Structure 1
Amino acid sequence: MSRRTALAFATSVLAASYALTAPPSQAQSTRDATLVQTGSDIPAKWQRPDADYDYTRQEVMIPMRDGVKLHTVILIPKGAHNLPLLLERTPYDAGGFSKESVPHLRDAVWTANREWVDDGYILVYQDIRGKYGSKGDYVMTRPPVGPLNPSKTDDTTDAWDTVDWLVKNVKQGNGKVGMIGSSYDGWTVTMALLGPHPALKVAAPESPMIDGWMGDDWFHYGAFRQVNLDYFTGQTTKTGKGENVARTGADDYQAFLDAGSAGNWAERNGFKQLGFWNRLSSHPAYDAFWQGQALDKFVAAKPSSVPTMWLQGLWDQEDMYGAVVTWEALRAKGMSNNHLVMGPWAHSQVNGKAETLGPLKWKGDTAADFRRDVLIPFFNTYLKDRAPAEPLAPVMIYNASDNRWDKFADWPATKALTPLYLQADNGLAFQPAAAGEDSYVSDPAKPVPFLAPPMSFSERSRWVSWLLQDQRFVSTRTDVLSWQTPVLTSPVTVQGAPFADIFAKTSGTDGDFVVKIIDVYPATVAEQPEMGGYQLPVSMDIFRGRYRQSFEHPTPIPAGEVQEYKFRLPTMNYVFKPGHRIMVQIQSSLFPLYDRNPQSYVDNIFFAKPADYRKATVAIQRGTAGASAVLLPVVQTSTAIKSAAR
């Protein structure tokens, strides 16, 4: 390159560099204004393109009669016209019941709602007062308006106002609403039935929280369920989802044992800040606080004309009590528009997959089949004027031993109860026993576990199936007594709720009684070898001895005197087959699921002191001093009006 050429090249490079760095002209500034952002990058209102969506998602704040607005999510299929609405009211985040930014409604909703989408429903989810997106104050299972709730609103009025708004404002609807929900959401369905809106045409409370003291979440016959302490922080420490109580170890058996009483565990973890804990722990007995929110009594006092299906799991580890006793209360009132369904499910499993439960295997997905073939047709009868293929039986209860659904015209199948007596030498028979007793030492320092330690309440797989746990893991403990029949040569069919009728004396002044009815499998099972010798619980519960005379007014147990402890056990529809045995087990703790009884009488067990916890010798009576037995609703032949295997 010549010197002149090189100079010209350098000059052009400098000119170009100057052009890049020099201030732009006014014209250039106007032309490139989009390069500078002076406001927020977030638009005032984002409108998601939804051309490819087969539904619309609306989030609205529905006003209640007192002005409080409740966050509500409405999912409407595109092109919807004259469709019914399915409403669920929840404390568990209505926004999380469906995924956003998912183009197809069937993909957006939970498993249990896909069949509803397929059948053509508008789905509505609402946060109850004070939770997640809703305004107002949250009160755990807010009692009905009355002595325990001096306001003018409750979940009955809120459901009425919500249904009223929906039928007036969702133009794609047909003016008919059904309600559904499990557990706490089952509570909200039941509350809606206490004063239903005329547009509420059908309802299904699934494992509803009905009576938290007698047999649902908080207590069972006065024994406190410590698993719920984490639930209290999850529900009442935040408007949204709170956290479980922090643990310093991985074994809840040891953690709760080290803490002493349930009250000590709770209050050292800050529970005095929580209103519901303070109310609950101040009312350990079945006083006006609990009686004033037992919904079976309210429902029976004011029966609804809304057709209702009461749903329950046979091995529901959380809400075993409410649905069946409420159905029974309504049946006693002559209400024929109520149906009872009990499936082979754990808590809320009706809304998921149910091909198995613990070690038991069913013929297909019992939950999906039920939703498709029974539940949705039941709703369609009243929301779409579409008659089902066959009338729904008053009662449907799964027969786990025969692996089929049984249908009944009435329930229980028999009113008679047949005593199965405890015998000498750990025997069990339908004949009265000779006089005698069997004893054990119950030591609060070494309580009987409900699951083999180490265990954690957060282990969901163990929690959902604990009621089916093979009881051989405790059967050799010296503080667990077992009685069993000889090997059965003919089937024993039990249809109804058994009762424990235990006569016992104790060296203490208080004590708990856990009674289990167990199906003992043969030593070998060719079809499922792991079931050989399995001790399968089919009905069990716990009873706090101080309430043997009155649930409302506890009294000390007179030490050394025989007392009767009689209480209802969970409902059964079960066949003990030839080659099996029937077993009864009795013990005095089921820890750490239930708090320990100190076995010396104190006014409030929540706040028992370390010195209150004492060993006690418990003697179970046989024969003339007290004919201890389990009372079974045995039927000679099944009273099922129709049976079906799926």
Structure 2
Amino acid sequence: MIKLRPLALASALALSLAAGPLAPALAQPAPAAAEAEWPGLPPGAAEEYAVMRDGTRLAANVFRPAGRGPWPVILSRTPYLKDGRRTEQNPNPAEGLAKQAKRYTDAGYVYVLQDVRGKGRSQGFYAAFENDIEDGYDTVEWAAAQPWSNGKVGMTGGSALGITANSAAMANPPHLVAAYVVVAPADRLSYSYPGGVLKEKDTIGWLRQQGTSEEQLDRVRQRAFDDVSWNRVAMTANRKYIDIPIFNVGGWYDIFNGGTVDNFQWLQNHGAPGARGNQKLLMGPFGHGQLSGDLEYPGNDRIGLAGDQEIRWFDHWLKGIDNGIMDEPPVSYFMMAAAKKGALSPKNRMVAAANWPPAHREVRYYLAEGRALTTRAPTDAEEKVSYRFDPGRPVETFGGANLTFERGPMDQRAVGQRQDYLRFQTPVLAKDVAIAGPVKMELWAATDGPDTDFVVKLVDVYPDGYEALVLDAPVRTRFRAGRMPGEVRMMTPGAPEKLEIDLWPTALTFEKGHRIAVHVTSSNAPRFEVNPNTGEAPGAAKLKPRVAVNTVYLDATRPSAIVLPVVYPDDVK
């Protein structure tokens, strides 16, 4: 079993995800931190300034190894303050930062931790991730030219720091050699508004707590459309410029689960020559913070590989050490299984693979009459089930890939029995069903109005009835054909259409004695914004919300099914 190590991550991603072209509205002028508020430099750090192409000076802590250089450099760029912030919970941030730096200096690297533009001791205006392509390039080249540097630079970091690393890599600076990126998205649009539905709690709620005005929040609510502002800094649009090896680390319950996998998959198979074939992927059983609920996987509170794994990566690429890391399989993923606290199944384990996704076959599990879930395609000429979706009484959120509140495989029995919450499940499994790969839902549905939402959950039902959430995702029907303005179209009342919902990838063994379940509803609050069913433009909210009658179809011509990537039994023994 690969051991995992903690990697502390700040939880301010909601701001960064919502910003986009809102940068002028959300930008914060930030001169160097006032001396009275500044906690001071961590032990062993020297503060140095890099000058960007527009003259803005960005502050960095530079930690050097013992002895004489020059050395290779490992760089992190953070919006969370290079010197930390004193709080009641963390009265001495310098201690943790110095310990973090020591890992790299002990391994023979200069470690550079820089405040991004407009944060901490750096000059300029903070506009989340809008300047990190250019600033990342300039900082890498600055670090490479310093007397303590041998000209080889690697970047490392998780969450926002992972995004800044990817941003710099998209700029393709000549002296950036490799990166180690933990939990980062592929596309901020699709991860802020999955299926066209705003992640309410993790964006609006967090921004409001930070004092963001209601006017600015209204602008955030209007950002579900695809436009050039999103794509200027998106990995999906610009990763073709990345020409370096990247070690990608993610978690099955992380808010950027799909992005970590997608970035690896594209760069490994389609990337530029320096990237293609040189990527690594590790997916573990964790979220963007401690998991909630009654399941407990090994290392589920950890994000990142053991320190030697990261150092081995940089030793190979920055020092030219033949340590065998590139002879190992490119993909390692955790195959989750039954994991009730105190009763961990031995089928929980790490699996190595040559690529992602591993070999699998798509198996459709059809929603069927009597709330059944079966691999037999329906034969009835007409079968459907309808419910009333009242925006004033949304289904409550229990778990999922959340950032700022409870997350992970929580028990969906807490939702209760509701007429607007449809549970479909298999009989008790007579043998294991293992899946590894992308999961999607093909939902035939209709509504009696112009627009509504559908939410689908994949659930592992334990023998005692515990309904462990595996994946969940929504779709706003107006965005069923795409997010470009010309692709948006209202529903025809009462007319069924096929809706495809991306639930992201996972790896899980539904064990013998469990059931596979699919839950269908139209809300999941406060995880997702509640649709008023009026057909108004996002963020308008001028009309009174209406109760929608939504229908799910289960018949031969309109078969609703979840598509599971089933792997062969020999792959999971």
TM-score by length of 1: 0.73
Aligned counterpart, 1:205: 181
Aligned counterpart, 1:372: 307
Instruction: Assess, with a 3 A threshold, how the Cα gap between structure 1 residues 279 and 205 changes in structure 2: closer, same or farther.
Output: farther
Percent identity between the two aligned chains: 29
Any idea what SS the aligned residue of 2:84 has? Answer: helix
The Cα of 1:98 is off from its aligned counterpart by: 11
Any idea what SS the aligned residue of 1:289 has? Answer: helix
Aligned counterpart, 1:569: 503
The Cα of 1:621 is off from its aligned counterpart by: 0.6
Kindly indicate whether the alpha-carbon contact (under 8 Å) linking 2:398 and 2:411 is maintained by their aligned counterparts in 1: no
The equivalent position to 1:130 in structure 2, one of 92, 105, 118, is: 118
The equivalent position to 1:597 in structure 2, one of 515, 524, 531, is: 531
Kindly indicate whether the alpha-carbon contact (under 8 Å) linking 1:396 and 1:405 is maintained by their aligned counterparts in 2: yes
Kindly indicate whether the alpha-carbon contact (under 8 Å) linking 1:499 and 1:569 is maintained by their aligned counterparts in 2: yes
Alignment of 1:343-382 (within 5 A): 343-347=284-288, 349=289, 358-363=293-298, 367=302, 370-382=305-317
Any idea what SS the aligned residue of 1:428 has? Answer: strand
Instruction: Assess, with a 3 A threshold, how the Cα gap between structure 1 residues 480 and 117 changes in structure 2: closer, same or farther.
Output: farther
Does 2:394 align with 1:447? yes
The Cα of 1:117 is off from its aligned counterpart by: 5.0
Aligned counterpart, 2:564: 632
Alignment of 1:307-322 (within 5 A): 307-316=245-254, 318-322=255-259
Q: Distance in 2 between matches of 1:431 and 1:580?
A: 19
Q: Distance in 2 between matches of 1:97 and 1:179?
A: 23
Aligned counterpart, 1:408: 353
Aligned counterpart, 1:5: none
Does 2:54 align with 1:66? yes
Does 2:167 align with 1:229? no
Instruction: Assess, with a 3 A threshold, how the Cα gap between structure 1 residues 594 and 77 changes in structure 2: closer, same or farther.
Output: same
Q: Distance in 1 between matches of 2:98 and 2:570?
A: 37
Any idea what SS the aligned residue of 1:58 has? Answer: strand
TM-score by length of 2: 0.82
Specify the code of the residue in structure 2 equivalent to 1:479: D
Instruction: Assess, with a 3 A threshold, how the Cα gap between structure 1 residues 278 and 127 changes in structure 2: closer, same or farther.
Output: farther
The Cα of 1:357 is off from its aligned counterpart by: 6.2
Any idea what SS the aligned residue of 2:507 has? Answer: strand
Any idea what SS the aligned residue of 1:213 has? Answer: helix
Kindly indicate whether the alpha-carbon contact (under 8 Å) linking 1:208 and 1:322 is maintained by their aligned counterparts in 2: yes
Aligned counterpart, 2:21: none
Any idea what SS the aligned residue of 2:535 has? Answer: coil
Instruction: Assess, with a 3 A threshold, how the Cα gap between structure 1 residues 414 and 440 changes in structure 2: closer, same or farther.
Output: farther
Does 2:268 align with 1:331? yes
The equivalent position to 1:76 in structure 2, one of 46, 58, 64, is: 64
Alignment of 1:525-604 (within 5 A): 533-552=465-484, 553-602=487-536, 604=537
Kindly indicate whether the alpha-carbon contact (under 8 Å) linking 1:106 and 1:117 is maintained by their aligned counterparts in 2: no
Kindly indicate whether the alpha-carbon contact (under 8 Å) linking 1:56 and 1:77 is maintained by their aligned counterparts in 2: no
The equivalent position to 1:287 in structure 2, one of 212, 227, 235, is: 227
Kindly indicate whether the alpha-carbon contact (under 8 Å) linking 2:336 and 2:349 is maintained by their aligned counterparts in 1: yes
Specify the code of the residue in structure 2 equivalent to 1:592: P
Kindly indicate whether the alpha-carbon contact (under 8 Å) linking 1:515 and 1:586 is maintained by their aligned counterparts in 2: yes
* RMSD (CA atoms): 3.0
Instruction: Assess, with a 3 A threshold, how the Cα gap between structure 1 residues 369 and 339 changes in structure 2: closer, same or farther.
Output: closer
The Cα of 1:511 is off from its aligned counterpart by: 1.0
Q: Distance in 1 between matches of 2:99 and 2:252?
A: 21
> Considering only CA atoms, is the larger Rg found in Structure 1 or Structure 2?
1
Aligned counterpart, 1:505: 446
Instruction: Assess, with a 3 A threshold, how the Cα gap between structure 1 residues 638 and 204 changes in structure 2: closer, same or farther.
Output: farther
The Cα of 1:132 is off from its aligned counterpart by: 2.2
Aligned counterpart, 1:397: 333
Instruction: Assess, with a 3 A threshold, how the Cα gap between structure 1 residues 123 and 638 changes in structure 2: closer, same or farther.
Output: farther
Q: Distance in 1 between matches of 2:76 and 2:204?
A: 25
Q: Distance in 2 between matches of 1:596 and 1:369?
A: 34
Kindly indicate whether the alpha-carbon contact (under 8 Å) linking 2:435 and 2:508 is maintained by their aligned counterparts in 1: yes
The Cα of 1:278 is off from its aligned counterpart by: 6.7
Does 2:101 align with 1:168? no
Q: Distance in 2 between matches of 1:113 and 1:358?
A: 34
Q: Distance in 1 between matches of 2:267 and 2:303?
A: 28
The equivalent position to 2:424 in structure 1, one of 483, 503, 506, is: 483
Aligned counterpart, 1:265: none
The Cα of 1:140 is off from its aligned counterpart by: 2.3
Q: Distance in 2 between matches of 1:358 and 1:116?
A: 35
State the Cα deviation string for residues 65-101 of structure 1 (Å, max 9, x = none): 22111111112244364443221111111221899xx
Q: Distance in 2 between matches of 1:491 and 1:432?
A: 21
Q: Distance in 2 between matches of 1:566 and 1:441?
A: 22
Instruction: Assess, with a 3 A threshold, how the Cα gap between structure 1 residues 306 and 498 changes in structure 2: closer, same or farther.
Output: same
Alignment of 1:412-427 (within 5 A): 412-414=357-359, 416-427=361-372
Any idea what SS the aligned residue of 1:166 has? Answer: helix
Any idea what SS the aligned residue of 1:546 has? Answer: helix
Which piece of structure 1 moves more, 71-80 or 557-566?
Answer: 71-80
Aligned counterpart, 2:44: 56
Instruction: Assess, with a 3 A threshold, how the Cα gap between structure 1 residues 111 and 624 changes in structure 2: closer, same or farther.
Output: farther
Instruction: Assess, with a 3 A threshold, how the Cα gap between structure 1 residues 169 and 117 changes in structure 2: closer, same or farther.
Output: closer
Which piece of structure 1 moves more, 427-436 or 319-328?
Answer: 319-328
The Cα of 1:421 is off from its aligned counterpart by: 0.5
Aligned pair count reads 511
The Cα of 1:494 is off from its aligned counterpart by: 0.7
Does 2:539 align with 1:606? yes
The equivalent position to 1:195 in structure 2, one of 171, 184, 192, is: 171
Instruction: Assess, with a 3 A threshold, how the Cα gap between structure 1 residues 114 and 503 changes in structure 2: closer, same or farther.
Output: farther
Kindly indicate whether the alpha-carbon contact (under 8 Å) linking 1:305 and 1:337 is maintained by their aligned counterparts in 2: no
Kindly indicate whether the alpha-carbon contact (under 8 Å) linking 1:475 and 1:482 is maintained by their aligned counterparts in 2: no
Alignment of 1:117-156 (within 5 A): 117-142=105-130, 154-156=131-133
The Cα of 1:619 is off from its aligned counterpart by: 1.4
Does 2:122 align with 1:184? no
Any idea what SS the aligned residue of 2:133 has? Answer: helix
The Cα of 1:415 is off from its aligned counterpart by: 5.9
Structure 2: 5+ residue stretches without partners: 1-34, 338-346
Does 2:360 align with 1:384? no
Structure 1: 5+ residue stretches without partners: 1-42, 143-153, 234-242, 246-268, 524-532
Which piece of structure 1 moves more, 579-588 or 200-209?
Answer: 200-209
Q: Distance in 2 between matches of 1:377 and 1:484?
A: 45
Any idea what SS the aligned residue of 1:382 has? Answer: helix
Instruction: Assess, with a 3 A threshold, how the Cα gap between structure 1 residues 107 and 279 changes in structure 2: closer, same or farther.
Output: same
Does 2:194 align with 1:220? yes
Any idea what SS the aligned residue of 1:623 has? Answer: coil
Alignment of 1:459-470 (within 5 A): 463=405, 465-470=406-411
Alignment of 1:426-437 (within 5 A): 426-435=371-380, 436-437=383-384
Q: Distance in 2 between matches of 1:365 and 1:541?
A: 22
Q: Distance in 2 between matches of 1:110 and 1:210?
A: 31
Aligned counterpart, 2:238: 298
State the Cα deviation string for residues 36-80 of structure 1 (Å, max 9, x = none): xxxxxxx9xxxx9x9xx9x63111221112211111111224436
Kindly indicate whether the alpha-carbon contact (under 8 Å) linking 2:444 and 2:559 is maintained by their aligned counterparts in 1: yes
Any idea what SS the aligned residue of 1:549 has? Answer: coil
Aligned counterpart, 1:526: none
Kindly indicate whether the alpha-carbon contact (under 8 Å) linking 2:397 and 2:526 is maintained by their aligned counterparts in 1: yes
Q: Distance in 2 between matches of 1:76 and 1:319?
A: 33
Specify the code of the residue in structure 2 equivalent to 1:605: P
